[in-house]
């Protein structure tokens, strides 16, 4: 997340301009947010096309919201990406394909543990920032990340051992 207060304000102004029909602001907003929202969605779902669908939904929801975003825009965008990804996972709406070994291991995690790991390790958020996205304390987020790392290490180690013994 950007620590630059002016950057946050400019993102909020960009969103408001895009909501008012400014095409250039729409492109700027979509360009600014596509990559981080897409990364989070892909890491939560393990499927590029489903991540793109969630990313589009996050951007359109933000643009269509009748009220200005309360609080930090980054928190709102990340929170929506996590929630929509979890909903898609629960509905088993994900397209079936060949997930990577890492995504297969990530599938073995609890969705909130996975979300904490994605936000902290994937996006580089501090535990207090990730906690705000997940509606959790910094301590709970740290614990979730620690557990996810331990479980992921165990799953990947077991997978490597299985492949080595053939």
- Distance, in Å, from the CA atom of 95 to the CA atom of 45, rounded to the nearest integer, reads 9
Question: In this structure, which topology does domain 1-97 adopt according to CATH?
Answer: Rna Polymerase Sigma Factor; Chain: A (1.10.1740)
Domain ranges of the chain: 1-97, 98-166
**In the prediction, which pLDDT does 112 show?**
95
Angle subtended at Cα 111 by Cα 50 and Cα 149, rounded to the nearest 5 degrees? 110
> Which of 3.40.50.2020, 1.10.10.10, 1.10.260.40, 4.10.910.10 would CATH assign to domain 98-166?
1.10.10.10
- Distance, in Å, from the CA atom of 134 to the CA atom of 5, rounded to the nearest integer, reads 22
**In the prediction, which pLDDT does 99 show?**
67
Q: Which residues of the chain have pLDDT under 70?
A: 1-9, 68-71, 92-99, 159, 166
Predicted TM-score of the model (pTM): 0.82
**In the prediction, which pLDDT does 66 show?**
76
């Amino acid at each position: 997340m950007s620590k630059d207060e002016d950057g946050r304000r400019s993102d909020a102004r960009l969103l408001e301009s895009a909501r008012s029909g400014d095409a250039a602001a729409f492109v700027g907003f979509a360009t600014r947010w596509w990559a981080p929202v897409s990364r989070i969605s892909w890491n939560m779902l393990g499927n590029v096309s489903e991540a793109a669908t969630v990313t589009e939904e996050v951007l359109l929801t933000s643009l269509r919201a009748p009220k200005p975003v309360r609080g930090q825009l980054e928190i709102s965008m990340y929170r929506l990406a996590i929630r929509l990804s979890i909903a898609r996972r629960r509905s088993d709406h994900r397209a079936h394909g060949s997930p990577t070994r890492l995504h297969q291991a990530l599938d073995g995690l609890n969705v909130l543990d996975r979300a904490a790991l994605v936000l902290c390790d994937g996006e580089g958020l501090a535990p207090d920032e990730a906690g705000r996205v997940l509606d959790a304390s910094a301590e709970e987020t740290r614990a979730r990340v620690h557990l996810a790392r331990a479980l992921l290490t165990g799953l990947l180690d077991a997978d490597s051992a299985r492949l080595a013994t053939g």
